[in-house]
Amino acid sequence: MSPESLRLRLSFLALLALLAFGALVARLWFLQVLSSEEFEAQAQSNTVRVLYEPAPRGRIFDRNGNVLVDNRESLVVTVDRFTFDTEFDEDGQEALVLRLATEISRAGRLTKVFEINDALGDSRFGPLDSVPVADDVTENFEIILAERADEFPGVGTDLRSVRTYPYGDLGAHILGYVSLLSEEQYELVADDPKTYRRNDEIGQTGIEASFESVLRGVPGFTRLEVDNVGDPVRVIEQVDPVAGADVHLTLDIDIQAMAEKELLAGLGEARQQETDDPNDPPFKAPGGAMVVLDPNGSEVLAMASFPTYSPSEFVSGFSDDRWAELQDPNNHQPLHNRALAGIYPPGSTFKLFTAYAAMNSGVIGPRGVLDTRTLYEDTGVYVVPSCEEDVIASCTFKNAEEAIYGPVDLIRAITVSSDVYFYYLGDTMDRADRFDREGIQRAAVLFGFGAQSGIALPGEGVGRVPSPSAAEAAGEPWRTGDSIVLAIGQGVLGATPLQLANGYAAFANGGTLYAPKMVERVENPVTGEVVQAFADRVLNQVYLPNSIRTPILHGLLGVTSELEGTAYFAFAGFPHEEWEVAGKTGTAEVVGKADNSLFAAFGPNPNPEYVVVAIMEESGFGASVAAPAVRRVLEPLATDSVPAVRTIDDLADLSGPVEGSESEEDGVDASSGGAA
């Protein structure tokens, strides 16, 4: 072989090396220069573990500093999914779950196998997460776990902060509840600075929902670098959790307790009533609402809605069946806050606003069809003059129960609740050209009807104020009959109990319509420093001179205090001298069902401090059901004898000594028996 040949062959080796180096450098360039970012991210996720420490949620207080919603620790059993999936075959998994269910139950917390299986199958948890499978487990289980750890690989316990409700279900609709984030909710809050994780809880309704951003704390976290077996290598970053802020409500838990109790009692009484005619729909009284406001600022003191629910049910989550039960219309939707979401025809309680509209637009007045004190003959039937049936819908409108009140002026018309008088007003406003045809609608809007009041709670209803212009715009006919029934708060007109109460509050305080206030302030839970204070918010200033307000007020005062007042008997024995109550009954017709019973009241006059509105579905006359219930709320307020409500813990403490005294009595009985 020639030296040239050797050279050639060595060159071939050089070429081979060149190719090898070319390949290596090209690949190196690709990995380290072109796709380095991607690998850096992978290296991060490979080695960086973030451990979250949840922050305690802010508490909710009433106006007197009583804690309505607090946190407590719950011992949760967790199963590490990775261990569960990798260390067991199917039989092994089944056996472990059975062991777990048995031992957790034996330790004092009943748990079923399928509950654990459901929890383990929850798609919100990743393959490396620890999945909570049972909560509120007793400490006994922790001891079992410590003693027999080898039987429960991957099983651990965790203390979780959960909501607790010292006053039980009181104010459930206002407070709302928290539960695990749904998939859609997670998408919404994924970028929230308060870092939600998939298995976090979020306020779903009530204050818990509307003040979610305040109540939720900022979770702390430890960013750890871990090695190939998951042991920490070093702490990269540590941030302590920041507790959520406390929310102080305007609510008075004592008044709330009273309102809920009397609403429930009122509905119970309603169901006891007999119908006049067996063919009339029965008094089912399935639901209702009561609202108590301070008219000076529209602070919500109580807001009851029935049927109600238990927010503590949501703490440990519940079965799909229970959820379906809560949603079932046949169960009258207990999660629904009727006080602000229920829309009802206000019936005769609306006459205040019709009266205001009539006076304000001049229908009642020196140049109107009637003056304040002009007597109008109530014959029991209002016959529409020069009536054309199809234009007006009907030519005759009767009083409820076919009552005949004879001569009535404005004040007496309110006191006795003469529909005929108000039919006349409605007809006049609709047809007399010299008056504002939409005077009633305008007055209703001034007093807050047909719009959300802006209370800091989710799900508020808008209500409906029908008008000729709106009907025209929608291409529907408007007939004089619509105006006539509007005048007595019937027809399409719809208002939430809160709207009605707020309208009365504006009248009571002399014409200022406030946005109902539910939250007074937000406080830092540690320092007590006020983070945010909520001032009164004026929505509207209603023109309400004494010349208009006084006659209407007199009419309303007569309702409770005069013999022919519709709520006279409901308020018999009420301390009228010290505490004058103005009120108005309402009996709203609902097609095919028993009437809704309403009562709206405020007192003491002349400087009212409370407005109370009650609405009870399918319950009959306002005078016979709603008015007595409102009276039972007003009387303790008037006499300053609202009973202090006890927390569940207080009640538990009380029951102990009572049992002791009972046994003592037994002893006395026994001895006395022996003596005999």
Partner 1 sequence: MAVISIEERRSRELDPRSSPYAPWMHIDVLLILAAAGLAAIGVGAIYSTTRGRDPENFDTFFLERQSLFAVAGALFMVFAAWVPYQELAKFAVAIYGVGILALIVVLGPLGEEVNGARSWFRFGDFQLQPSEFHKLAVIVAVAAFLSRYEDHMSAPRVFFAVGIVAWPGLLVLLQPDVGTALIYVFIGFVLLLIGGIRFRQVIGIALIATTVVVLMVNSNMLEEYQTNRLRTFVDPTTGITEAGFQQRQAQIAIGNGGVHGTGYGEGSQTLSGLVPQQHTDFIFTVIGEEFGFVGAATTLGLYALLLLRILQAARLAKDRFGALICSGVFAMILFQMFEAVGMTLGITPITGIPLPLVSYGGSSAIATLIGLGLVLNVRMRRFT
Indicate whether 17 belongs to the interface with partner 1 (CB under 8 A): yes
Q: Which of 4, 25, 494, 558 binds partner 1 (CB under 8 A)?
A: 25
Residue 23 interacting with partner 1 (CB under 8 A) = yes
Q: How far is the CB of 223 from partner 1 (least distance, A)?
A: 12
CB-based burial label for 137 (10 Å; 0-12, 13-18, 19+):
buried
Decide if 631 contacts 575 (C-beta within 8 A): no
* Residue whose CB is less far from partner 1, 25 or 265: 25
Nearer Cβ to partner 1 (33/676): 33
- Reported in sequence order, the residue ranges of 216-362 that DSSP labels E, i.e. its strands, are 220-226, 232-239, 246-249, 288-294, 299-306
Least distance to partner 1 from the beta carbon of 82, Å? 13
User: Coil, helix or strand for 658?
Assistant: helix
Listed residue (403, 378, 491) closest to 441, CA to CA? 491
- Give the nearest distance from C-beta 534 to partner 1 in angstroms: 49
The secondary element (H helix, E strand) that includes residue 627 is: helix 627-638
Q: Is 227 an interacting residue with respect to partner 1 (CB under 8 A)?
A: yes
Q: Are 451 and 408 in contact (CB under 8 A)?
A: no
d(CA 75, CA 22): 61
Q: Is 87 in the site for partner 1 (CB under 8 A)?
A: no
Q: In the complex with partner 1, which residue's Cβ is closer, 9 or 148?
A: 9
Helix (H, G, I), strand (E, B) or coil at 220: strand
Shortest distance, CB of residue 81 to partner 1, whole angstroms? 17
548 conformational bin, left if phi > 0, alpha if psi -120 to 50, beta if neither? alpha
Q: What is the dihedral of CA 504, 510, 513, 516, to 10 degrees?
A: -60
Binding mask 399-438 for partner 1 (x = CB under 8 A): ----------------------------------------
Token pair listed for 113: 């196998």
Please tell me whether residue 663 binds partner 1 under the rule CB under 8 A.
no
Indicate whether 46 belongs to the interface with partner 1 (CB under 8 A).
yes
The CA-based dihedral angle spanning residues 264, 266, 272, 278, taken in that order and rounded to the nearest 10 degrees: -110
User: Within a 10 A sphere around the Cβ of 174, how many other Cβ atoms?
Assistant: 27
Distance CA 278, CA 590 (A): 17
Which region among 14-22, 140-148, 468-476, 557-565 touches partner 1 (by CB under 8 A)? 14-22
Cβ atoms 218, 525 nearer than 8 A:
no
* 186 token code pair: 């997670």
* 24 binding partner 1? (CB under 8 A): yes
Tell me if 228 contacts partner 1 by CB under 8 A.
yes
Q: Which residues contact 561 (CB under 8 A, 6 or more apart)?
A: 568, 571, 576, 580, 581
Nearer to partner 1, 12 or 318 (CB): 12
- Least distance CB 14 / partner 1 (angstroms): 6
Does 48 bind partner 1 (CB under 8 A)? Our answer is yes
50 near partner 1, judged by CB under 8 A: no
Residue 39 within binding range of partner 1, rule CB under 8 A: yes
Stretch that binds partner 1, among 2-10, 180-188, 196-204, 648-656 (CB under 8 A): 2-10
Give whichever of 44 and 64 is closer to partner 1, judged by the CB atom: 44
Which residue lies nearer to partner 1 by CB, 128 or 572?
128
Q: Which residues are within 8 A (CB) of 452 and not within 5 positions of it... i.e. 6 or more apart?
A: 460, 461, 462
Asked whether position 12 contacts partner 1 by CB under 8 A, the answer is: yes
| Beta carbon of residue 122, minimum distance to partner 1 (angstroms, whole number) | 24
Nearest residue (CB) to partner 1, 1 versus 535? 1
Region of residue 347 (phi > 0: left; psi between -120 and 50: alpha; otherwise: beta): left
- Cα 618 to chain centroid distance, Å, stands at 22
Output the smallest distance, CB 42 to partner 1, in A: 5
Tell me the closest approach of the beta carbon of residue 195 to partner 1, in angstroms: 23
Burial bucket for residue 18 (CB in 10 Å: 0-12, 13-18, 19+): exposed
- Are 229 and 218 contacting, i.e. CB atoms less than 8 angstroms apart? no
47 counts as binding partner 1 under rule CB under 8 A: yes
Residue selected from 123, 234, 402, 676 as contacting partner 1 according to rule CB under 8 A = 234
7 near partner 1 (CB under 8 A): yes
Kindly tell me which residue out of 20, 188, 572, 670 binds partner 1, with binding defined by CB under 8 A.
20
- The count of residues in the chain is 676
Q: Which stretch binds partner 1 (CB under 8 A): 18-26, 139-147, 446-454, 603-611?
A: 18-26
- CB of 6 vs partner 1, minimal distance in Å: 6
**Contact region with partner 1 (CB under 8 A), list: 148-156, 220-228, 454-462, 493-501:** 220-228
Radius of gyration of the chain, Cα coordinates, nearest whole angstrom: 35
**Alpha carbon distance 337, 207 (integer Å):** 12
Shortest distance (Å) from residue 30 CB to partner 1 = 9
Could you list the residues that contact partner 1 (CB under 8 A)?
Answer: 1, 5-7, 9-10, 12-14, 16-17, 20-21, 23-25, 27-29, 31-33, 35-36, 38-40, 42-44, 46-48, 225-228, 233-234
